[in-house]
Amino acid sequence: MKTKVKPLTKVPGLGDIETPENNPVLLHFISPLELAAFQHKFKPFKYNLEGVMLDIEPYMCKELFWESRRRAAKLRTLIQKSRQKVLKQDPELRHFLHMPLKHHKLPVRVYHILKGNGCYNMAEVAQKGEHGLKRMRGMGKTHVATIMKVFIDNGCGALFS
């Protein structure tokens, strides 16, 4: 199973963000109002709420963005935990996930970045998820791809889909 890093979309005022266009999984997390805000690129717009026209202003758009981002992050961690629970039932995968990082053949830079961010085994790395790995200080796209390749090679690629 091949996994690739999802590209981000540039939105004025918010920078590079994840949108439903580049990550369809977000459609399961966000409400129709938040989807409309994404489609209007978080600029002022009018929204029809069962016959009542709402005038969504710029500061409301940013609040919608931050709230949807918080909720999506919480749901991501729940999904990640449930995926790990399923994978831990296999003894070989459990061994892989709980083996200390120093026993995996990781590049030195990746090892130190993970260790510096409080990851001591692959289960903790998986807990952070792709989004958490990207946000780690010093972690680049090639480092994320290296870690994801290790997971895929050991049969845990489902954690990053």
| 42 plus 8 within the same structural domain | yes
Residue % of the chain over a pLDDT of 70: 83
Enter the tokens of residue 27. Answer: 């459609």
Q: Is 56 helix (H, G, I), strand (E, B) or coil?
A: strand
Looking at the structure, tell me whether residues 82 and 102 fall in a common domain.
no
Q: Tell me which residue of 27, 49, 28, 93 sits closest to 19, measured CA to CA.
A: 27
For residues 93 and 79, membership in a common domain is answered with no
83 and 8 belong to one structural domain:
yes
Q: Give the model confidence (pLDDT) of 30-59 as tens digits.
A: 788 888 888 888 888 999 988 899 898 888
CATH of the domain at 152: 1.10.150.20
> CA 19: distance to chain centroid?
12
Question: Quick one: 76 and 148 in the same domain?
Answer: no
Is the pTM here over 0.85, yes or no? Answer: no
Give the domain-ending residue among 87, 117, 139: 87
Residues 12 and 73 both lie in one domain: yes
Q: Is the pLDDT of residue 11 over 80?
A: no
Polymer length of the chain: 161
Range of 79's domain?
1-87
Residue 16, helix vs strand vs coil: strand
Give how many domains the chain has, as a whole number: 2
